[in-house]
Amino acid sequence: MTAPRRILNDLSVHEGIKSGLRALRSDLPAYDVERGAARFEAMLAASARASSPAAAKVTKTLAAKGLLVVGALVLLGSATYALRSPARGDAASPPSRGEVPAEASPGRGPESPDESSAPVMTSTGVSVDSLPSAPPTASAPPTKERATAASDEREREVRHLASLQQTATADAEKAVQVAKEGHAQFPRGALFQERELILIDALVRAGRHREARDHARTFLAAYPKSPSAAHVREVLDQASASLDRTGSAE
Amino acid sequence: MNALRLPDTSSERTFVDAASLFRAHGAFVARFLRRLNVPDDELDDLMQEVFLVVHRRGGFEPGRAKPTTYLATIASLVARDRRRLRERRKTDPDTDRLTGVLDGAPDPEQRALLVEDIARAQRALDAIVPERRVLFILFELEDTPCSELAAVFDLPLGTVHSRLRIARREFLDAYARLGKEPTP
């Protein structure tokens, strides 16, 4: 059987059909490849951390259930739908599970991000009230301007996270600083959990066990079902044990 | 369609990693997914899934097929799975989607005709059976040679020719039929 002739090269095909095909060929999506690639790399980094020895068991289970992809995408990809951080003041201890996070503040509308709405540090680490909460469900579709601004914000946050990951491999103290700056810079950011995980690890490596323990406790209270919860529990045990040894546990 | 021949992970072979492929061929994959009528609001998630599959398969091994053809096979599988998960929306391309094309057609009448042409062609494309649609898109819209389609889809060359002929008939019939229907 001979090769078929392409429609656009076939003189017997009506010009109107060719016109339709040409129009289809010229219909290109406005997709930002660089932004997509940055998101992809951030997702791989998150997956790699979830696959670390500490979290290997959890990762294996998730993979077996076919949820690894979804989990990684939920962590990084579903930016708009991820938990968001409200501006709250002086919360204290971690709340019960019922207070955390998805239905924490359903009635609140979008707030303008400012530094005062960054997650609040308390004696127990980060206030759960200051952790990201769910976005309001019923709202008018965003205008193009708002969508673009949100998109730019996400891109900046992804880039910040990539930079933080780089810093964390070399300098724990610096990573702590950069992670906290990220929390302040993106108070309602979708990558809060990612930054917080890096922050907790960096605090341990910097020998700041009390802070690491407090952050780990608060993280587990807020995100008990996080794919990284097992890893955080291990960090919590490690930090607590270290504080016990030095006699500085509370 | 037969199973794809995918690269193995032998250490002595050279593979192109998924992130590099993303940067080099992301525009192609986005275009290909668009041809499969993936809506804009799902495009980025599907892009991530496509390259995640590539990553989990160890990247792309240069060989018989071009990376774009290899990526198209994966994109078609990801899009198919997504289609099965949710009821596909039967909508014509919206004007936001067509912004890039319409920029080249400043005349309002010309724009209207272009939108109509694209909508009709896209619906005709949707009428092709999925396993043939992928071949049709790569052959007719991306100028992929039949020999490469045969290699990457692990099909005899005659089968590729045969499927392309049937797909072409499906497309032309649908296109003609849609021309007789009142515009929705």
- Please state at what angle helix B18-35 crosses helix A33-50, rounded to 10 degrees: 120
Minimum distance, in Å, between the CA of residue B63 and any CA atom of chain A: 23
Return the minimum-mean-pLDDT range out of A149-163, B56-70, B159-173.
Answer: A149-163
**Does residue A137 have a pLDDT over 80?**
no
Minimum distance, in Å, between the CA of residue B8 and any CA atom of chain A: 20
**Does residue B119 have a pLDDT over 70?**
yes
The reported pLDDT for the residue numbered A91 is 33
Q: Which position has the token pair 């979804």?
A: A70
Q: Express each pLDDT in A91-134 by its tens digit.
A: 333 333 333 333 333 333 333 333 333 334 333 444 444 445 44
- Please tell me which residue of chain B has the smallest CA distance to A79: B45
- Please tell me which residue of chain B has the smallest CA distance to A70: B49
Q: What percent of chain B has pLDDT over 90?
A: 35
The encoded tokens of residue B159 equal 């089968």
Domain-by-domain residue ranges, chain A? 34-246
The reported pLDDT for the residue numbered B160 is 95
- Please state at what angle helix A192-205 crosses helix A33-50, rounded to 10 degrees: 50
Provide the number of structural domains found in chain B. Answer: 1
Question: Residue A132, Cβ neighbours under 10 Å: how many?
Answer: 25
The reported pLDDT for the residue numbered B159 is 95
Is the alpha carbon torsion for A86, A89, A94, A96 positive or negative?
A: negative
Put simply, the chain B residues between 53 and 72 with a CB less than 8 A from any chain A CB are 55
Residue B53 domain-assigned? yes
Residue B27 domain-assigned? yes
- In whole angstroms, how far apart are CA B56 and each of A224, B26, B52, B152? 27, 17, 6, 19
Residue B22 domain-assigned? yes
- In whole angstroms, how far apart are CA B141 and each of A83, B20, B136, B144? 41, 24, 8, 8
Chain A residues with beta carbon closer than 8 angstroms to that of B94: none
Q: Cβ distance B25 to B32 under 8 Å?
A: no
Return the minimum-mean-pLDDT range out of A146-160, A174-188, A202-216.
Answer: A146-160
The reported pLDDT for the residue numbered B157 is 93
**Does residue B40 have a pLDDT over 70?**
yes
Residue B9 domain-assigned? no
Instruction: Characterise A135 by phi-psi region: left (phi > 0), alpha (psi -120 to 50), beta (else).
Output: beta
**Chain B interface mutation, best of A10, A12, A18, A27, highest count of B Cβ atoms under 10 Å:** A27
Question: How wide is the angle at C-alpha B153 spanned by C-alphas B149 and B156, nearest 5°?
Answer: 75
Q: How far apart are the C-alpha atoms of B143 and A145, rounded to whole Å?
A: 37
Question: Residue B158, Cβ neighbours under 10 Å: how many?
Answer: 12
- The helix (H) or strand (E) run that includes residue A125 is strand A125-126
Q: How far apart are the C-alpha atoms of A10 and A18, rounded to whole Å?
A: 9
Contact state of A4 with B33 under an 8 Å Cβ cutoff: no
Contact state of A37 with B19 under an 8 Å Cβ cutoff: yes
Higher model confidence: residue B93 or residue B124? B124
The reported pLDDT for the residue numbered B135 is 94
The reported pLDDT for the residue numbered A85 is 35
Q: What percent of chain A has pLDDT over 70?
A: 57
Q: How far apart are the C-alpha atoms of A191 and A160, rounded to whole Å?
A: 10
Q: What contacts 24+ positions apart, CB below 8 Å, involve B150-156?
A: B151/B5, B151/B64, B151/B65, B152/B4, B152/B5, B152/B64, B152/B65, B152/B69, B152/B70, B152/B73, B153/B1, B153/B2, B153/B4, B153/B73, B154/B2, B154/B3, B154/B4, B154/B5, B155/B1, B155/B2
Residue B4 domain-assigned? no
The reported pLDDT for the residue numbered B46 is 92
Q: How far apart are the C-alpha atoms of B1 and A105, rounded to whole Å?
A: 49
Chain B residues with beta carbon closer than 8 angstroms to that of A81: none
Highest mean pLDDT pick, A47-51, A79-83, B138-142, B178-182: B138-142
Of A1, A8, A73, the CB nearest to B48: A73
Of B43, B52, B118, the CB nearest to A24: B118
* pLDDT class of A147 with cuts at 50, 70, 90: low
Helices (H), A27-171: 33-50, 56-64, 68-72, 144-170
Q: Confirm or reject contact between A102 and chain B (CB < 8 A).
A: no
Average pLDDT of the segment spanning B81-105 = 55
Minimum distance, in Å, between the CA of residue A156 and any CA atom of chain B: 17
Which residues 6+ apart lie within 8 Å of B150 measured at CB?
B156, B157, B159, B160
Q: Which position has the token pair 């708002």?
A: A146
Amino acid letter, B137: I
Residue B26 domain-assigned? yes
Chain B residues with beta carbon closer than 8 angstroms to that of A16: 179
Q: Confirm or reject contact between A29 and chain B (CB < 8 A).
A: yes
**Does residue A53 have a pLDDT over 60?**
no
Q: Express each pLDDT in B158-181 by its tens digit.
A: 999 999 999 999 999 999 888 765
Residue B6 domain-assigned? no
The parent domain of residue B56 ranges over: 18-180
The reported pLDDT for the residue numbered B140 is 92
**Does residue A39 have a pLDDT over 70?**
yes
**Does residue B65 have a pLDDT over 90?**
no
**Does residue A239 have a pLDDT over 90?**
no
Minimum distance, in Å, between the CA of residue B144 and any CA atom of chain A: 11
**Does residue B104 have a pLDDT over 80?**
no
The reported pLDDT for the residue numbered A134 is 43
Which residues 6+ apart lie within 8 Å of A94 measured at CB?
A124, A128, A217, A218, A221, A222
Q: Confirm or reject contact between B32 and chain A (CB < 8 A).
A: no
Q: Cβ distance B175 to A20 under 8 Å?
A: yes
Q: Cβ distance A18 to A7 under 8 Å?
A: yes
Minimum distance, in Å, between the CA of residue A102 and any CA atom of chain B: 22
Contact state of A27 with B100 under an 8 Å Cβ cutoff: yes
The reported pLDDT for the residue numbered B106 is 57
Residue A99, Cβ density class (10 Å: 0-12 exposed, 13-18 middle, ≥19 buried): middle
Q: Express each pLDDT in A163-196 by its tens digit.
A: 887 788 778 899 999 999 988 888 777 778 778 8
The reported pLDDT for the residue numbered A228 is 74
The reported pLDDT for the residue numbered B86 is 59
Q: Confirm or reject contact between A66 and chain B (CB < 8 A).
A: no
Residue B123 domain-assigned? yes
Partners of A125 in beta bridges:
A122
The reported pLDDT for the residue numbered A94 is 35
Partners of A126 in beta bridges:
A121
Q: How far apart are the C-alpha atoms of A115 and A119, rounded to whole Å?
A: 9
- The helix (H) or strand (E) run that includes residue B135 is helix B130-136
The encoded tokens of residue A244 equal 């016990």
Contact state of A24 with B45 under an 8 Å Cβ cutoff: no
What is the pTM (predicted TM-score) of this model?
0.48
Q: Express each pLDDT in A8-22 by its tens digit.
A: 888 888 888 888 888
Average pLDDT of the segment spanning A199-218 = 89
Chain A residues with beta carbon closer than 8 angstroms to that of B48: 36, 39-40, 43, 73, 77
Residue A77, Cβ density class (10 Å: 0-12 exposed, 13-18 middle, ≥19 buried): buried
Alpha carbon distance, N-terminus to C-terminus of chain B = 34
Whole-number average pLDDT of chain B = 79
Return the minimum-mean-pLDDT range out of A142-146, B15-19, B64-68, B106-110.
Answer: A142-146
